[in-house]
Chain A
Amino acid sequence: MLSELTHRTKAGLRSALAFALLLAFVLCSMPSAFAQVTTGTIQGTITSSQGNTKLAGVQVVATAPSGRYTATTDQNGFFSINGVTPDTYNITYTRTGYETFTLQGVTVVQGQVANATTALNQSLQRIGRTQSRSTAGAFQPTQTTDQYNVNSQQIATTLGKQGGNSESNLLASIPGASFDSSGYPVLRGGREYEEGFQYEGIDYTDAFTHQFVNSLILNGASNFQVQPGAGDASIGNAGTGAINVVAKRGTSPAFGQLEANTRFGRFSHELRGEYGWATPNGRYSDYASMDFTRDALHYGASNSDALAIGAYFGGRAWSWSNDVTNNFVYKFGKDNNQSFQFFYDNTQFDVKDGYGVPPTGLPYKNTDPFTLANYVAAGFGLPYSYVQAIMPFTPGQRFLGDVVGGSNVQRNVINYNQPNEVFKLQYSITPSSSSFITAKFYRVNSVDLFDFPYYSTNTIDFGDINSLQGGIRTGFALDGTLQLGSKNLIGFGGRYDFLHPVYTQRSATNSMYEFAGGGNTLDSADFFASSNCPYGPNTATYNPATSTCGYLTQYMTPYRISTAQCQPTMNGIPFQVCGTNSVNGGVGTLPLAIQLPYADEGVTTQRQDWALYVKDTYSPTDRLKFDLGLRMDAANWLKPACSIYTCAPTSFTTDAAGNPTSFAFNYDSDTSKPRVLEPRLAISWQATRNDAFRFSYGRSVQFPPIAQVDLTGQSTAYSAFNNIPSHDALTGTQATFCSVAPQVGGQVANFSAPCANYAQQLYWENQFFLGIPITPLKPVTFNNFDFSYSHLFPHQVSVKITPFYNKSYNQVAQTSQQLVKNGVPVTDVNGNPVLGPPVSSNLGKSQIMGTEFLLTKEAAYGLSGSLSLTYQNEFSNVVPTSPNEDFYPSIPPASLALGNLYRVGYLSPFVGALALQERTRTGWRINPVVYYNHGYPISPGLLTAAYVNGVPYNLPNTNITNSVQLGSNLGADRYVDPRNPGTAFNPNIDATRGTADANAAGGILSAARFSPVQLTVEYTSPKNPRAGTIGLLVFNVFNQLYGQPGLNTRYQPVATGIAGPYSGYSSSAEQVVPYFYGISNYTQRQGNRAYLLAPSSVPRTVELYYQVNL
């Protein structure tokens, strides 16, 4: 079996194996994720062309710029080389008595077996014969699992040029991959966090949300691989698929390129370069790349249509990215059979939104009449000045009249600051040509800053935020491959990741919303100091029965904004807050009040992920291959022990009065230490020379992001209130809702947990806004099936068609319960229940079926390219078109009770991409790229699920019923007669938006369009290629600016198909001041049609670039 291991001792192998197994065993007590390898395998069987006998003892040498590998065939003529760095190799076969033969162009990609079977002649030496097939074509007869490899040439074709850095566009050209309606990449309909995303074998996702961390900037990639479905057993915690990018390595001879480009149509330029070198003996190699981009994207904001619909703030003002990568490898040992690799990547990505910030800057929320009006409308019943008196300043705001941006900048902001720093230290050893072991240690550090002091313009649902988000992922992984005989290629490995999330989010407006929100027990009077009221520590004469002072003023000194801080006017418009209220000697001050603390979110939970896998690729013949594997993904959730203060109870006991007295938290063990076994089976069969079939089944798993499990308020935010006794404004006594019980509803809500102090009381008010602090969740499990048929046509044209099916359970979805305070269900003034925040659960489910299609034509010259098409039809019990459908999906309780399934709204059912290249021998290259998207479901549907008198129904979806479905009643497309509304079962429809619709939400799609077409024309002198390449790349050739339409939530119905004059405007009468602070369109309407169509694409851009090959 191991007869070819002649140059390695079996003892040495056993030692290595023992070490590996020991290490794997040790790892059993530790964790991740998708443990995909970054190397591939070359194997083949060598026969004599005369008599077809199998030749033993053939020396096999595979060489490429990035490495050299050797092996010897066994008595069956078989050889296998594992741990091969992805590259294109020339393989030389030498045996006494036979001519030496070199097979050229064998391309190795990560995780794949490259077939190098050939026959030797008993004749004179002959060099040169070209391997007929690349690994990037659609016809891959030995591929067992569904996967798509894109080599550097195809990357260049898809992105228009070498060095293109748009990973998004690259993904869009691959079957099975598409973008959700928010623009985030998804695989086979998975949600945006349900996919693995790796660069150089490192899980490139952040510890909090499990989303990609490199902002989809492609830099230094040698090979790009997408694996829809479960993949083989080396892939884990990857939901519906995985993306794996392998970095380039230094080579000998060295290579390099430097590019500068500038773009017209938007202000943008880029400096990009790469250089890879290696010593001639391959011992040292290094690859470095850098990509510096400055981009002033303004989408359509300069377009008159955009201005007309108020896209003033929608465009991105400016983005800035620096990405540097370095990949150093040191090889040593006999035949360089060992290596250390140090990989480093650093990305800085900053974005500043709000193009066109007026010279005078933007107001903060507490000087923004829109915001203030909304708070007043939300039920404060307070004048602006009182709202401002208790509203905390936005983090970073220095005084009331402070503004953001503009020429008189008081505080400039970067709305998105997304840095990430990643490194990997890897050791690899090739004990023999047929075995390979690698161990790596890595860290992904990505903590983003999101800073929106003024986000949005006129609604309180998008207030200011100042957030740190992300975390640190530290991991260790071991992977190995071992060829057992000529038929079995064993793979094994394990991985441990420690996830340390970072999350804080402070918001002044959220604080105010909590204050005004339904069912709170805070009374504004507690916060205010009336005239001549004694206040402050140690001066309290407060008497709840007689005093007119606010309760808190006896403990804390009220806040006062000085006259100097309170600018009387700005641009001639007086601040309404700067009155002449004279309180305690103050002149020109605001009302005195205790300021609210920030609403503050956080996270306390950490997690260990670990995984083990073993697989066997069994090849009974060259044409038949089986991949059998078993994987276990596991996690240890490191969270506080469950109690009524952290988790929702699973059961409880009651006293004689029926009030809960003790609680149990017997969550399924899958919620704290899930261990999921995932069998994988894949088969490939090459039926003929040009026809191949494959089938695979795999169970896969996705651990919920920590962001869905733990959103804990920051108790430290309220520390200033620690020494103040709790005071329920409704009862005048100690508050008794300081536990999760009020959010759970039902009988549990009868549990009364006294608040120890006012800080606790505020903390729980905040938590009622966020949800239950800890929500134990099971992993989401998928069962994936796919089947492929591929065919190779003449002229290197090949096709592959892959029907697939995937069904998931334990999907994370959120539901809401009616809030309960002090044992009393909270209702509004009309008796309608006040729902608590959506709380995560495992009640979601989905199923998808679809078909992937890929056609490729490969050619060094002439026409080449690819056509990718994906049809996908997915159903889920999450109501489509709801906000954040694929990150924080929510299911209305009524819909859940009815078991409704909907076609998902975040997924376009049909997408495609066509990337063509015509390369001439005279040095010209013409490269058009076209993307097609059939659109997203956008309709709210004719039916909606809602409760009537406690019973769930699917009811006609009108403006009197759909508030339950969408979280607001703004999404209806049918309107009842206001004077004769009828019933929820039989409403009197007076008018509709006039658009066609189907019963289920998402019933209609936005109309299909070919979206931004890209065209490249470049020239490289065939006589002197080192002189460089000059090119012109036109992005968005037809200047298509408009994106996905969305339901106009500010639609004013007049009659069927007739919108009213206020359509697109906020209904708030306070959205006045049309020239507030000189911002001419601050109050403009969103649009006056049933659906809104905002410009969201960058305008036509012409890029001129010059590339020098070093």
Chain B
Amino acid sequence: MRVIYRALGAAAGIAILAACSSGQSAIQPPSSSVNVQNTTVLQFRVGTARYANGSTYLNTLTTYRQPNGLSATLYNSPTITGPTGFVVPAAGSAGTDAGTNHISSTPPTQPGTPAVATTFGQSGGVFSYGFAPANSTTSGAANYTKFSATSATNNGLTADWESTIIVGTGKGNTCGNIYGDCDTTAPPNPANTANEAGAYLNTYMQPFYIPVYNKLPFLLGPPAVPDFHNPSAGYPAGFLGYDSGFTMFGAAPVVGTYTLTVNVPSANVGQLAASFTQTANLGSTTPPIGVVTTPIITPVAGGGASFTVAPAPGGATNQVLYVVRFSGSSGTPTHYSFSVGTAGGTVTLGPTAGPAGAAPFKVGDSVYAYVVAADWDIVGLAPPVNTQQAPSLPATADISVSTVNEIAY
């Protein structure tokens, strides 16, 4: 007789008879593998990032793709080594990179073995368009950008608990901050977990190394990219948007050559399936792109809004408007973006521009808008539009980020 065992909603059985187990033998099914070293291409650029808080940081732009433009691998370990004089600041998130000239990741180790804390850790890798904490695991989950909320009342924009206003005006609320997080007890407190903030998963809030409340997500949404909000289109549930390709590090840029090394591991710990090295040169630490004007948000009847973007500052060849909507009830953000060019202008999310033709905003929502000016076409090189294995990158990758405008819709 077999034991009846049911768990997690599904039954599972256990063979219990010695004789029953004595029968079959078999071998592994055959499998084939790709040659990652020969079939994938890594590109790397550096530049400056003029950030909304007035600081200038190191910016990077990477692509690492298969011939069809998809991400080259699902797991890799990158390390950026800066020129002499480049120093990773002593931020907690830098781990052992602090004080060194490299921004590194942690090679895979056997689970359970204490891992060295580094900037990218073991989850960070290079993907088709930028760095992301999306290295595969054994859970089989797709590491696209999602949002995790521990409470239906959560509407936080950042991952951090008890974060304060990022940049911009801030509207405030009865809890004393804009995120609706009324918890005043440090976790873990089982009685108050419901009030902790939610978090972006599998994408970096940027720039690295700066206080969490000054970071922003840079995810491309419609109409700049195909509308993935429509549930009948079959996009995976929880997918928030595409990468913008750039990654900012809250370290002072230094003139010189930066080297990106990417290791692709194999199943045998300590062995590599492939390894790549690319260099990029930063000729000047002076941001070539001026200050970007904060966009203006104007609600329109029926649940939409228009966004006015000023002309791009000098040095920019392109501007992207990022719009983020947080619902006070669902807690899950919705991302929109526009490629507005250097001329700027007014763009509108109409009353039917939301998911499945619904209004993009409703009363009670928080709406955030910010602009990135760059010296390359951010959207044009981004998936899913761009499927080139090695798209043409600018000589340097410079950006300028506006402050955030936020309204309570």
Contact = CB atoms under 8 A, between A and B. Distances in A.
Interface stretch (B130-138, B160-168, B299-307): B130-138
A823 B194 CA distance: 22
Given A948-B232, A995-B29, A1055-B73, 20 more contacts: A450-B5, A462-B12, A469-B4, A525-B190, A830-B147, A933-B24, A967-B8, A970-B140, A975-B136, A980-B384, A981-B142, A1005-B29, A1011-B24, A1011-B25, A1043-B23, A1045-B27, A1052-B138, A1057-B31, A1065-B110, A1093-B26
Interface string A497-515: 0000001010000100100
Interface string A670-711: 000000000000000000000000000000000000010001
Contacts of B191: 525, 528, 530, 548
A908 B23 CA distance: 12
Contacts of B112: 1071-1074, 1083
A433 interface: no
A1054 B73 contact: yes
A1075 to B, nearest CB: 10
Contacts of A1045: 26-29
B363 interface: no
B112 to A, nearest CB: 3
A971 B36 contact: no
Contacts of A982: 384
B26 A1043 contact: yes
B5 to A, nearest CB: 6
A994 interface: yes
A213 B1 contact: yes
Instruction: Among A460, A1012, A1056, A1071, find the residue whose CB has the most chain B CB atoms closer than 10 A.
Output: A1056
Contacts of B140: 959, 968-972, 975, 1049, 1051
A1059 B143 CA distance: 16
27 contacts: A184-B2, A465-B5, A469-B3, A505-B5, A829-B332, A832-B237, A967-B8, A967-B9, A979-B127, A980-B384, A983-B236, A984-B235, A1007-B28, A1010-B25, A1035-B22, A1053-B74, A1054-B136, A1055-B273, A1057-B32, A1058-B33, A1061-B108, A1063-B267, A1066-B111, A1074-B110, A1088-B267, A1090-B28, A1096-B21
A381 interface: yes
Interface stretch (A9-17, A57-65, A985-993): A985-993
A831 B66 CA distance: 33
Given A979-B71, A990-B71, A1050-B138, A933 B23 contact: yes
B15 A182 contact: yes
Contact of A461 (B7, B21, B188, B202): B7
Contact of B26 (A185, A769, A882, A1006): A1006
Interface stretch (A248-256, A794-802, A868-876, A883-891): A883-891
A166 interface: yes
A152 interface: no
A978 interface: yes
Interface in B151-200: 152, 188, 190-191, 193
Give the bracket for the number of chain B residues in contact with chain A: 35 or more
Interface string B392-404: 0000000000000
A1072 B128 contact: no
Interface in A257-276: none
Interface of B: 1-13, 15-34, 36, 66, 70-76, 108-114, 127-129, 132, 134, 136-144, 146-150, 152, 188, 190-191, 193, 202, 231-239, 242-243, 264-269, 273, 330-332, 383-384
Q: Tell me the dominant secondary structure on chain A's binding face.
A: loop
Contacts of B144: 976, 978-979, 981
A856 interface: no
A199 B381 CA distance: 73
Given A386-B190, A976-B142, A983-B234, A1093 B28 contact: yes
A381 B70 contact: no
Given A979-B132, A1061-B266, A183 B20 contact: yes
A1072 B132 CA distance: 25
A248 to B, nearest CB: 21
B17 A830 contact: no
Given A216-B19, A830-B238, A978-B132, A1007 B27 contact: yes
Contact of A1090 (B10, B31, B74, B384): B31
Contacts of B139: 969-970, 1067
Contacts of A935: 24, 26
Contacts of B20: 168, 179, 182-185, 216
A883 B7 CA distance: 11
A829 B24 contact: no
Given A381-B150, A1043-B25, A980 B8 contact: no
Contact of B108 (A192, A933, A1062): A1062
Q: Which 7 A-B pairs have the closest CB atoms?
A: A1057-B33, A183-B20, A1072-B112, A168-B19, A994-B31, A888-B11, A984-B234
B25 A1042 contact: yes
A769 B383 CA distance: 42
Contacts of A1007: 26-29
Give the bracket for the number of chain A residues in contact with chain B: 35 or more
A183 B21 contact: yes
B128 A980 contact: yes
Interface stretch (A126-134, A325-333, A719-727, A835-843): A835-843
A55 B15 CA distance: 59
Contact of B74 (A167, A215, A991): A991
A710 to B, nearest CB: 12
Interface in A453-475: 460-463, 465, 467, 469-470
A1097 interface: yes
A316 interface: yes
Given A978-B127, A1056-B33, A949 B23 contact: no
Interface string A833-851: 0011110000000000000
Given A505-B4, A1061-B108, A182 B13 contact: yes
B240 to A, nearest CB: 11
A263 to B, nearest CB: 12
A446 interface: yes
A470 B1 contact: yes
B57 to A, nearest CB: 22
B25 A1009 contact: yes
Interface string A958-971: 11100000011111
Instruction: Among A213, A970, A979, A1073, find the residue whose CB has the most chain B CB atoms closer than 10 A.
Output: A979
A980 B383 contact: yes
B70 A829 contact: no
Contact of B6 (A316, A711, A1054): A711
A770 B36 contact: no
Contact of A1052 (B34, B75, B132, B239): B75
A1040 interface: yes
B233 A168 contact: no
B267 A1061 contact: yes
A890 B190 contact: no
A1058 B26 CA distance: 22
A209 B2 contact: yes
Contacts of B233: 983
Given A209-B4, A884-B11, A959-B140, A1040 B25 contact: yes
A316 B18 CA distance: 8
A1089 to B, nearest CB: 6
A931 interface: yes
B66 A990 contact: yes
B176 to A, nearest CB: 22
A1044 B193 contact: no
A297 B15 CA distance: 14
Given A168-B17, A1058-B36, A1091-B28, A462 B236 contact: no
Interface in A508-567: 510, 513, 524-525, 528, 530, 548
A667 interface: no
A1060 interface: yes
B275 to A, nearest CB: 13
